[in-house]
Amino acid sequence: MSSTQNSILITGGAGFIGSNLCEYFLEKGYKVTCLDNFATGHKYNIEPFLSNQNFKLIEGDIRNIETCRIAVKDIDYVLHQAALGSVPRSINDPITSNEVNVSGFLNMLTASRDAGVKRFVYAASSSTYGDSESLPKIEDKIGKPLSPYAITKYVNELYADIFSKTYGLETIGLRYFNVYGRRQDPNGAYAAVIPKFVMQLMKNESPIINGDGNFSRDFTYIDNVIQMNELAITTQNAEAVNTVYNTAFGDRTTLNDMVFYLKKYLSEFDSKIADVEIIHGPNRVGDIPHSLASIDKAKQLLNYNPKFSFQDGLKVAVKWYWENLK
| pLDDT tens digit sequence for 138-160 | 999 999 999 999 999 999 999 99
Percent of the chain with pLDDT over 90: 94
Query: Which residues, in sequence order, are CB contacts of 86 under 8 Å at separation 6+?
Result: 149, 190
DSSP conformation class of 175: E
CB atoms within 10 A of CB 257: 15
Give residue 285's pLDDT.
78
Q: Is the Cβ–Cβ distance between 289 and 252 less than 8 Å?
A: no
4 — pLDDT class (breaks 50, 70, 90): low
- Which CATH class name applies to 3-180+222-250+293-307? alpha beta
**ω into residue 186 within 30 of 0, thus cis?**
no
Q: Give me the active site residues, please.
A: 149
User: Which backbone phi and psi does 231 adopt, to 5 degrees?
Assistant: -60, -40
| pLDDT beyond 60 at 162 | yes
pLDDT confidence tier of residue 188, bands split at 50, 70 and 90? confident
Return the ∠ at Cα 120 (arms to 192 and 241), rounded to 5°.
105
The average pLDDT across 49-59 equals 98
Kindly report, residue by residue over 203-225, the tens digit of the pLDDT: 999 999 999 999 999 999 999 99
- pLDDT for 12 equals 98
- Whole-number mean pLDDT of the chain? 96
Report yes or no: 46 and 34 within 8 Å, Cβ to Cβ: yes
Per the DSSP assignment, residues forming a β-bridge with 320 are none
pLDDT of res. 286: 74
Q: Is the pLDDT of residue 1 over 70?
A: no
